[in-house]
A and B are shown apart, each in its own frame.
Chain A
Amino acid sequence: MNNVLGTKTRLTEYFVQLVQEKKQSVKQNWYGEDWPDWDNDWDNSWDNSHGDNPWEDWNEWSDWNNS
């Protein structure tokens, strides 16, 4: 049976919720693209295969474009 989010599994419910939540934090990066705020996604920080940067914050660092 579908839950209120229209998802049938715990996995899909989790990801739909995650995406909805992260969409609230979307900013524009310095390409003008929408970019979610993954700043506090600490769970990813163990993975050292040049992957998830919990501190990506394009707005904060965008000033360097002009330097």
Chain B
Amino acid sequence: MFTKSGSYIIKVTGNCNLYCPYCYHFSGKKRVPKSTLSIDLLESFIEQAVELTPDKVWFIWHGGEPLLAGIDYFKRIVAIEERITAKRGTKFRNSIQTNATLVNHQWADFFQAHDFGVGVSLDGTKEIHDRNRVYFSQKGSFDQTIKNIHLLQDTGLRIGILAVVTKSSLGKEREILDYFLQIPVRSFNFLPCVEIAENDCEALPFSITDNDYAEFMINMFDLWTELDDPSVRVRYFNSAIIGLLGLTPPSCTFNGTCGNYVTLNNDGGVFPCDNFINYKELKFGNLQESSLDTLLKGDVRHDFYEASKVQRAECEICDFQTACHGACRKYSYIFRKKLSDPNFLCGSRKVIFSHIAGYLEENIAGYKRPSVPKAVNLADIKIN
């Protein structure tokens, strides 16, 4: 079964001006020369993407640090999109994820003028952020990031924040939330820092456990509900609540879809998602050798997609299956390269979902938390 995508993550460069030890691109290497995605290849990709979904295409610009490609590079991208829109009426949506250290007035005005959705990576207060988000010199990047967040906001852009939850974040939930609101930013999400060593099944020392993540998120949830302000959006909580109220949430990490954020790497490689960019066996192929259409209809994508849809045994008996849908498949795949493996985040999800369901029971008359969707004979369950 195949689907068109319509949304693509583009890794415009593999380079970054920061050297964060927890980054999934971090491999102890210095910068790679000539790592920017060829603009000619990118133009071909955009045109092919438009052929598949002529009405609308969404690009999420990633890196490395995408701003390293330079503002002229992005001006050319927008020019390509405008040319196609004039000819075919295609609507483009652009989002970018940046550490913001390279933002200046020119960038801020560009993002505002072209309606980019800007997500900034910021882990919390200076103490927390600078523990990991450092330049090659080991100097922290916090001061520059904050200065440039204000530069972006001064143009009228509403930005969001993605914060990685590390060991430095644990127990600092109130500080982090208060700081984000003080900036002020009202949309954010918290991603667990979970990385493993290459060719190993062990989480790296800076990774947090699922218990750590559960505790952090529950504390954060309680602080968030104290605010009682729906305009403060924490995506994890929004998605979980929507799911627990019986509706499919928009987020792929909560609705069971996987592989709809087809990713173009800076070398032309095409992957199911940028979460799987380090796994060559999941590469659909290279755009320099095959068309996007061919790659999306290929066996690698087909097999990935089918495997990602298989419900794991532990999900069959879980009360929260209909709200969780098994979490991001990356956290099943990372240890033994099996999408069918138990999910690293499963334990934390159950605890967090249970906590949120308790809040809903307490605050919505007649609300009943979900129950196991169907009877399952426990003796038949085999955990691989």
Question: A residues touching B (Cβ–Cβ < 8 Å)?
Answer: 2, 5-12, 14-16, 18-19, 22-23, 26, 30, 33-36, 38, 41, 43-56, 60-62, 64-65, 67
Contacts and interface: CB of A to CB of B under 8 A. Distances in A.
A22 B189 contact: no
Given A43-B187, A46-B118, A51 B4 contact: no
17 contacts: A2-B365, A6-B365, A8-B364, A10-B230, A14-B230, A35-B248, A43-B187, A44-B250, A46-B118, A51-B235, A53-B6, A53-B7, A53-B260, A54-B250, A60-B55, A64-B3, A65-B2
Given A47-B160, A51-B235, A33 B248 contact: yes
Nearest to B157: A46
Interface of B: 1-4, 6-7, 9, 52-53, 55-56, 58, 60, 62, 93, 95-97, 117-119, 158-160, 162, 187, 189, 191, 225, 228-230, 233, 235, 238-239, 241-242, 245-248, 250-253, 260-261, 273-275, 297, 328, 360, 362-366
Contact of B95 (A5, A6, A35, A48): A48
Nearest to A48: B97
Nearest to A13: B230
Contacts of A18: 242
Given A7-B363, A52-B235, A64-B2, A19 B97 contact: no
Contacts, number: 142
Contacts of B52: 64
Given A46-B118, A49-B162, A67-B2, A38 B189 contact: no
B232 to A, nearest CB: 9
Nearest to A45: B117
A51 B247 contact: no
Given A35-B248, A48-B60, 14 more contacts: A7-B365, A43-B187, A47-B235, A48-B119, A48-B162, A49-B162, A49-B191, A50-B275, A51-B235, A53-B6, A53-B250, A53-B260, A61-B6, A67-B297
